[in-house]
Amino acid sequence: MKLVLLLSLALGPIAALHAENWPMWRGPNGDGTTTESGLPEKWSQTENVVWKVALPDRGNSTPVVWGDKVLITQAIEKEGKRLLLCFDKKTGKQVWEAGITYKEPELTHGTNPYCSASPATDGERIIVFFASAGVYCYDMKGKEIWKRTDLGKQHHIWGNGTSPVIAGDRVFLNFGPGENTVLYAFDKKTGKTLWQHKEPGGASGEGEGKKWLGSWADPLLRKVGARDELLMCFPRRACAFDPLSGKELWTSAGLTDLVYNSPLYADGVMIAMSGYNGAALAVKAGGSGDVTEKNRVWQLPKVSQRIGSGVVHNGYHYILSDGGIAECRDLKTGQMVFQERLKGNNWSSLVLSADGKCYAANQIGDCFVFKAAPKFELLSTNSLGEKIIGSIAVSDGHLFIRGYKNLWCIGKK
């Protein structure tokens, strides 16, 4: 019962108690939302910059924040290093680094450097996924606690990018994409496998045609009725698992072969979207078995290409397309409410503040703030002048943004 309680609360009241932290890629609630409001709306390369610190190499991961620490994963490509870097939250000074050297060949794309997975932390330990090099756990001073280097290789033409999710006493990880695709639950204290679900893989590399498939989605834990459900998106389907046992609870067809976006949940409904101009769907959670016919709310056979994940606010779903178009859909029907073009191409995921404002960055370093409302209103466009792939992290009224050259801390002055 204690374990069930921990899992049930993991992304609810516990997150609220630590609203100043951003412990995982998509924040304390796993869905891009923060309880903070009054965040900075305007900044530049000099205005409202609390600090910036140069990084040793490019990178796509998002910072996470706990207490006085800002943590990022970082590859140094020429040296084969895969690192976890820790910075002082107030000053930006680097405090420590930990990591490994891994020089074995690993397939990825030129736009996706190694270490694109973001860390996850509970304030006592930090979990990082270094793809084929394994899963590592460090304490808050960078000392290794455990590692899992026995999980096998990652192999996909576009590389890896899934991030660990900490909930209760366990770590959930989508070990994929590629032939070796497994959803794991690890004991966060020891790294022991508590359960695993093997998912069919498929074509994923050079010389295998262009019918590639794979999921870069991270699982999302939610309370659905009286039970906990671990929501997940795989190629061609959305589904849910019992987070304690790993038993599959339900599945719904309707996605396509490539899944870039992580699931969302609101009002009893899971929202799942494919990338590569694939399908999207909404399905009622809480079912049993194949719920395609009875619980699917809507399904769209083709939506615009998008890499980043969206947010849900007051019955509407917001997301940015790869081409930099802000989209709003009615959650009940899937009907498009607006499409508004922003500047540049976008791969970052949206962040939603408590006062209803969406934050995201494009690949040329422009950061957008717009209202989460069915009538589009762009509040500001703020340029940092460098490439940005990762998403924005929020902590104590500050924004933490990882570019290809610098790590930025933005705050009102």
pLDDT at 209: 67
Give tens-digit pLDDT for 5-14: 344 444 443 4
pLDDT at 288: 98
pLDDT at 28: 96
Alpha-carbon distance 406 to 397, whole Å? 20
What's the mean pLDDT in 219-242?
A: 97
β partners of residue 248: 241
Domains assigned to the chain: 2-410 (2.130.10.10)
β partners of residue 134: none
What's the mean pLDDT in 287-304?
A: 97
pLDDT at 366: 97
Give the type of residue at 149: T
Buried b (16+ CB within 10 A) or exposed e, 118-150: bbbbbeebbbbbbbbbbbbbbebebeebbbbee
Give tens-digit pLDDT for 152-172: 999 899 999 999 999 999 999
CB within 8 Å of 263: residues ≥ 6 apart = 217, 219, 220, 231, 232, 233, 238, 270, 271, 272
pLDDT reading at 17 higher than 50: no
What's the mean pLDDT in 239-258?
A: 97
């909404």: which residue's tokens? Answer: 282
Mean pLDDT of the chain: 93
Give tens-digit pLDDT for 265-277: 999 999 999 988 8
pLDDT reading at 215 higher than 50: yes
More confident residue, 35 or 20: 35
pLDDT at 362: 95
CB within 8 Å of 36: residues ≥ 6 apart = 19, 20, 353, 354, 394, 396, 397
What's the mean pLDDT in 303-318?
A: 95
What's the mean pLDDT in 214-219?
A: 96
Percent with pLDDT over 90 in the chain: 87
SS (HEC) of the chain: CHHHHHHHHCCCHHHHHCCCCECCCCCCCCCCECCCCCCCCCCCCCCCEEEEEECCCCCCCCCEEECCEEEEEEEEHHHCEEEEEEEECCCCCEEEEEEEECCCCCCCCCCCCCCCCCCEECCCEEEEECHHHCEEEEECCCCEEEEECCCCCCCCCCCCCCCCEEECCEEEEEECCCCCEEEEEEECCCCCEEEEEEECCCCCCCCCCCCCCEECCCCEEEEECCEEEEEEEECCEEEEECCCCCCEEEEEECCCCEECCCCEEECCEEEEECCCCCCEEEEECCCCEECHHHHEEEEECCCCCCCCCCEEECCEEEEECCCCEEEEEECCCCCEEEEEECCCCCCCCCEECCCCEEEEECCCCEEEEEECCCCCCEEEEEECCCCCCCCCEEECCEEEEECCCEEEEECCC
pLDDT reading at 335 higher than 50: yes
Alpha-carbon distance 202 to 245, whole Å? 26
Q: What is the number of other CB atoms lying within 10 angstroms of the CB of residue 115?
A: 29
pLDDT reading at 115 higher than 60: yes
Claim: this prediction has a pTM higher than 0.85? yes
pLDDT grade for 203, boundaries at 50, 70 and 90:
low
Give tens-digit pLDDT for 389-410: 999 999 999 999 999 999 999 9
pLDDT reading at 208 higher than 80: no
CA Rg value for the chain = 19
Residue 292 near residue 252, CB atoms below 8 Å: yes
